[in-house]
């Protein structure tokens, strides 16, 4: 390779995948670019998270650190992308690219994201097979071997830095903390059918945040006071849940069922038929919003900088949102509708959706959906209409939304239709999530790019 050609080639590496047609890869459509490789890497991580059955808060943690790693590896070669170091007080700068060595930062970003994600899941071999295939495909485009090797090495060096950093977030310590203790207080949460599982992550509020000053920074309003009186506000809120699926309007009923199932996002639903028990696995609520991020970035034809920025910011909103929500859940420790209704109204009643194994107030879907929608609106704009096909692979039809905020409102309301949340948990959770999202945007700046909606 002549010195002149090598210089031109290497200078174009950050934009290598932005070319189109057969000059890149005849197997890809014209719009496929470096972002598409990154989308595929994130989707692979989602698939493994589903396979390994991580809980929603833990999944959000995995998305966060892996996408921060990808962003930081790319930002190291792009002065327009501010590093998160310093903006997140406990993150020190990632290693600088080695002097005199030619690096493709898009490739490094993939290597960083994949290695960090692989370090946080169980099925490492699934990530390794994907990684080998992806990098062989990229190498086949014509990347010089020395550039490929150096880029992979640098990306993995960034990953090592992020892996060491996340080791101090208190996650390992919480693995040894006590389980949730069931109370004799009739207003407090107790395990629910069919599996009566222990409360998930009762110490999650002790996990280190990214932008929040503390887990309780945006403490929501408390739930309505518990009461067994039929004249109480509490009882009215219970009856709203009880009656949600008892409407005689068949069209309205069908729509409520569709909404509830579309946003279910329960990573592990058990089914009991006689003596046989089996389970189905799906994406987590955070995984759903990560996929919406991919939908928006593809639709906007976002460049790699914007794509990694969107993933990193949404992931951090999910992470801080779950910490904020779980802080309230295990403070109020409110019982679920299923428990109260079975005790006092209808012992045969079952919610449309399987009740998740943790306290009721506030709604996790409401918090993290609003936080994610707030971030995505900031990045891609108001009234960004899109078709959400996140659940198609789980045999549910796609749904259309006029904006991210509208999608978050439906996601929140779905929990009432599903029979697993009272109205205050939904409404207060939305306020809580918006506060988390706005605070993140105020505290952390990842630069901006022009988005073309097509």
The CA-to-CA distance between both ends of the chain, in Å, stands at 39
DSSP state of 119: T
The answer to whether domain 10-165 and domain 188-443 are alike in fold is: yes
Phi, psi of 287 (to 5 degrees): -60, -35
Asked if 239 and 232 count as a contact pair (C-beta separation under 8 A), the reply is no
Q: Distance between CA atoms of 344 and 64, rounded to whole angstroms?
A: 42
Q: Which of 120, 111, 71 is nearest to 91 (CA)?
A: 71
**CB-based burial, 108-119: b 16+ in 10 Å, e otherwise:** bbbbbbbbbbbb
- SS3 of residue 278 by DSSP: strand
- SS3 of residue 316 by DSSP: helix
Q: Distance between CA atoms of 201 and 269, rounded to whole angstroms?
A: 18
* pLDDT by position in tens, the chain (length 454): 333 233 333 434 444 443 332 333 333 332 335 899 999 999 999 999 999 999 999 999 999 999 999 999 999 999 999 999 999 999 999 999 999 999 999 999 999 999 999 999 999 999 999 999 999 999 998 899 999 999 999 999 999 999 999 999 999 999 999 999 999 999 999 999 999 999 999 999 999 999 999 999 999 999 999 999 999 999 999 999 999 999 899 999 999 999 999 999 998 877 677 666 667 889 999 999 999 999 999 999 999 999 999 999 999 999 999 999 999 999 999 999 999 999 999 999 999 999 999 999 999 999 999 999 999 999 999 999 999 999 999 999 999 999 999 999 999 999 999 999 999 999 999 999 999 999 999 999 887 654 444 3
Place of tokens 């012992």: 347
Q: Distance between CA atoms of 420 and 8, rounded to whole angstroms?
A: 59
Asked if 175 and 32 count as a contact pair (C-beta separation under 8 A), the reply is no
User: How many Cβ atoms from other residues are within 10 Å of residue 47's Cβ?
Assistant: 17
pTM score: 0.92
CATH architecture, range 188-443: Orthogonal Bundle (1.10)
Asked if 310 and 67 count as a contact pair (C-beta separation under 8 A), the reply is no
Asked if 201 and 356 count as a contact pair (C-beta separation under 8 A), the reply is no
DSSP state of 231: T
Q: Distance between CA atoms of 38 and 25, rounded to whole angstroms?
A: 16
Q: Domain ranges for the chain, please list them.
A: 10-165, 188-443
What is the dotted CATH code of the domain comprising 10-165? 1.10.606.20
Phi, psi of 430 (to 5 degrees): -65, -45
Asked if 186 and 225 count as a contact pair (C-beta separation under 8 A), the reply is no
């Amino acid at each position: 390779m002549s010195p002149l050609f090598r210089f031109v080639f290497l200078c174009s590496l950050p934009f290598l995948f932005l070319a189109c047609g057969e000059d890149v890869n005849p197997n890809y459509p014209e719009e496929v670019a470096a972002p598409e490789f990154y989308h595929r890497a994130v989707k692979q991580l989602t698939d493994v998270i589903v396979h390994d059955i991580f809980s929603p808060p833990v999944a959000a943690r995995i998305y966060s650190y892996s996408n921060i790693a990808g962003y930081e590896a790319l930002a190291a070669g792009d002065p327009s992308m501010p590093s998160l170091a310093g903006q997140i007080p406990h993150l020190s700068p990632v290693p600088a690219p080695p002097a005199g060595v030619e690096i493709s930062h898009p490739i490094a970003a993939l290597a960083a994201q994949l290695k960090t994600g692989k370090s946080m899941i169980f099925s490492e071999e699934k990530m390794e097979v994907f990684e080998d295939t992806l990098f062989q495909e990229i190498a086949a485009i014509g990347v010089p071997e020395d550039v490929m090797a150096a880029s992979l090495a640098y990306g993995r060096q960034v990953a090592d830095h992020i892996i060491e950093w996340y080791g101090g977030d208190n996650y390992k310590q919480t693995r040894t903390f006590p389980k949730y203790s069931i109370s004799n207080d009739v207003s407090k949460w107790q395990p629910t059918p069919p599996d009566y599982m222990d409360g998930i992550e009762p110490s999650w509020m002790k996990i280190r945040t990214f932008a929040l000053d503390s887990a309780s920074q945006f403490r929501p309003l408390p739930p309505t006071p518990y009461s067994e009186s039929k004249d109480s506000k509490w009882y009215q809120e219970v009856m709203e849940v009880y009656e949600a699926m008892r409407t005689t309007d068949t069209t309205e009923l069908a729509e409520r069922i569709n909404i509830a199932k579309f946003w279910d996002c329960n990573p592990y639903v058990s089914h009991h038929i006689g003596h046989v028990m089996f389970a189905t696995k799906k994406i987590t609520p955070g995984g759903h919003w990560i996929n919406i991020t991919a939908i928006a970035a593809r639709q906007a034809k976002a460049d790699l900088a914007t794509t990694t920025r969107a993933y990193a910011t949404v992931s951090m909103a999910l992470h801080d949102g779950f910490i904020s929500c779980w802080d309230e859940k295990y403070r109020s420790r409110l019982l679920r509708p299923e428990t109260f209704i079975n005790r006092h109204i209808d012992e045969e009643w079952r919610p449309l959706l399987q009740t998740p194994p943790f306290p009721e107030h506030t709604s996790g879907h409401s918090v993290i959906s609003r936080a994610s929608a707030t971030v995505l609106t900031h990045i891609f704009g108001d009234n960004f209409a899109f078709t959400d096909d996140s659940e198609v692979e789980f045999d549910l039809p796609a749904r259309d939304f006029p904006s991210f905020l509208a999608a978050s409102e439906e996601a929140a309301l779905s929990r009432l239709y599903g029979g697993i949340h009272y109205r205050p948990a939904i409404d207060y959770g939305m306020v809580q999530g918006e506060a988390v999202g706005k605070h993140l945007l105020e505290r952390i700046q990842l630069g901006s790019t022009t988005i073309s909606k097509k």
